[in-house]
């Protein structure tokens, strides 16, 4: 009986790596065209396709869903099978996640209404102006830490509406380097860039308890994409 028990424990121990690798990865993000958005019942977009490529090359099963950013971020911190994209890798966040990527480089830009003719040379020039941000976003944290007057919302699409209505003076936007924002939007031409105040890399950020076998497979896939140029290509819908 003792030998049977020992054999069963040994079998379970041998199976543990395979069981860990078989866990579905939950990937969360926010509605942020053209990086991530819904097309019917499917999550698509430029950065979404990069994440899907990573998971396919890693041979991992996964599911993607879009949530308000603060909720998505909290789940990625709390739930061991969860990753979030596209996440700015900052010093404050470094120890919170396992980082897969980078997926892209992003610029943080303050936008304002063209008709107001605001001139910003440094971030200090924006002191006293109301800046629209997203609650829990890295840009929101960055500006708060520097004593700026932020007005956060739960979802990014609310900020251009507030800017056009005059409820905020500026909008802090994170954009992939070289991207063309607002094409086809009703505010195209009305909203203009005033100041680039930071530049960061964006990643797929995974909960630190995600099994090591999965993290390693994803990191190998991201490295292969960098080598073959897949990560640098812009995936356009």
pLDDT tens-digit series, residues 189-230 = 899 999 999 999 999 999 999 999 999 999 999 999 999 999
The larger pLDDT score, comparing residue 105 to residue 10, is at 105
| CATH code of the domain occupying 106-200 | 3.40.190.10
- 159, pLDDT greater than 90: yes
Beta bridge partners of 36: 32
The secondary element (H helix, E strand) that includes residue 6 is helix 2-21
Whether 106-200 and 16-104+202-228 are alike in CATH topology: the answer is yes
What does the block give as tokens for 11?
A: 């079998």
* CATH fold group of domain 16-104+202-228: D-Maltodextrin-Binding Protein; domain 2 (3.40.190)
d(CA 120, CA 108): 14
The larger pLDDT score, comparing residue 37 to residue 7, is at 37
d(CA 61, CA 119): 49
- 234, pLDDT greater than 70: no
pTM above 0.75, yes or no: yes
**What pLDDT is recorded for position 32?**
86
**What pLDDT is recorded for position 232?**
84
**What pLDDT is recorded for position 133?**
97
Alpha carbon 182 to its chain's center: 19
User: Using 50, 70 and 90 to split pLDDT, how confident is the model at 111?
Assistant: very high
d(CA 57, CA 208): 21
- 15, pLDDT greater than 60: no
**What pLDDT is recorded for position 3?**
46
- Could you report the per-residue pLDDT of 46-71, keeping only the tens digit for each? 999 999 999 999 999 999 999 999 99
Domain ranges of the chain: 16-104+202-228, 106-200
Query: Which residue has tokens 């960098």?
Result: 226
**What pLDDT is recorded for position 47?**
94
What does the block give as tokens for 28?
A: 């969360």
Sign of the CA dihedral with 153 first, then 157, 161, and 164 last: positive
b/e per residue 13-22 (b: at least 16 CB within 10 A): eeeeeeeebe
* Helix extents (H) in 81-211: 138-145, 158-164
d(CA 52, CA 235): 12
- Could you report the per-residue pLDDT of 17-37, keeping only the tens digit for each? 444 445 699 999 999 888 899
d(CA 51, CA 118): 38
What's the whole-number mean pLDDT along residues 132-143? 94
- Of the listed ranges 80-89, 90-99, 132-141, 226-235, the least confidently predicted one is 226-235
């Amino acid at each position: 009986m003792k030998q049977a028990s020992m054999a069963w424990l040994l079998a379970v121990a041998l199976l543990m790596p395979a069981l860990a690798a078989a866990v579905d990865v939950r990937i969360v993000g926010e509605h942020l065209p053209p990086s991530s958005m819904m097309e019917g019942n499917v999550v698509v977009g430029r950065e979404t396709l990069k994440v899907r490529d990573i998971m396919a090359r890693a041979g991992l099963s996964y599911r993607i869903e879009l949530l308000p950013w603060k909720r998505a971020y909290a789940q990625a911190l709390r739930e061991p099978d969860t990753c979030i994209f596209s996440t700015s890798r900052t010093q404050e966040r470094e120890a919170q996640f396992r980082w897969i990527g980078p997926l892209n480089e992003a610029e943080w830009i303050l936008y304002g209404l063209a008709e107001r003719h605001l001139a910003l040379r440094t971030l200090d020039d924006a002191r006293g102006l109301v800046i629209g941000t997203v609650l829990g976003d890295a840009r929101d944290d960055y500006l708060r830490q520097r004593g700026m007057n932020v007005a956060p919302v739960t979802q990014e699409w609310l900020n251009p509406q507030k800017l056009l209505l005059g409820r905020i003076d500026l909008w802090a936007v994170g954009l992939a380097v070289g991207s063309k924002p607002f094409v086809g939007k009703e505010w195209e031409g009305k909203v203009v860039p005033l100041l680039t105040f930071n530049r960061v890399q964006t990643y797929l950020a995974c909960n630190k308890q995600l099994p090591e076998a999965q993290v390693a497979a994803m990191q190998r896939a991201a490295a292969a994409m960098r080598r073959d140029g897949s990560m640098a290509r812009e995936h356009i819908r």
